[in-house]
Structures are given as structure tokens and as C-alpha cells.
Amino acid sequence: MPIYQYAPEAGNCPQCGGHFDVIQKIDDPPLTLCPQCDRPVHREICPVALGGSLQLQPSDVERNGFVQYRRLEHGVYEKTAGKGPDHLFAD
């Protein structure tokens, strides 16, 4: 089950500190009130921690139909995987 972060609608509460996390099912409706102080809250969008390095291999890029480039210098990119132009130039 995902962990959702909530924040108060306005200000911080000295009782709960303002932000809190809740483990909820995806189908569960978002909380509207803080369970500690009953103040209005909203669910925040937070980055997901995937753990470890998310380094794509060239074979994965090509197999999924994408093209990967690496930056050579300002505005110049070289293809490292996939089907596409060998170089890209940006103004």
C-alpha cells in the first residue's frame, strides 16, 4: 500500500506538527481532516523513492522503441541507443 503525505490547509498545528504520513489503499478516499487535531488537510504530491540506481541499459531502450542521447557539448547530443539521427543539434 502506498504512503501518502498530508499537509494542513493553512498554517501549522502545534499539536501534530502540520505534516503527517498515512498508509492507505489506492482506492481509499483522501483524508480531509487531521486525525490528531481535526484541522482541514490536503494530500500532497510527493516524489517516489525507487531505491537504488535507475540506469537504463541501451538494450532496454532499444527494445522498448525509445532513443537515448548523451550530451557532448552545449546544444550537441550523440545517440547512444535506439533508432534515430546519430546527432542532435539545438540552438
Name the residue ranges covered by the structural domains of the chain: 1-47, 58-89
Q: For 45-60, what is the mean pLDDT?
A: 70
Residues 3-45 pLDDT 10s: 888 888 877 666 667 788 888 888 899 999 888 888 888 888 7
Q: Which three cell numbers stand for residue 63?
A: 527494445
In the prediction, which pLDDT does 77 show?
Answer: 92
Give the 3-state DSSP-derived string for the chain, with helices as H, strands as E and coil as C: CCEEEEEECCCCCCCCCCCEEEECCCCCCCCCECCCCCCEEEEECCCCCCCCCCCCCHHHHHHCCCCEEEEEECCEEEEEECCCCCEEECC
Is pTM, for the whole model, over 0.95?
A: no
pLDDT band at 59 (very low <50, low <70, confident <90, very high): confident
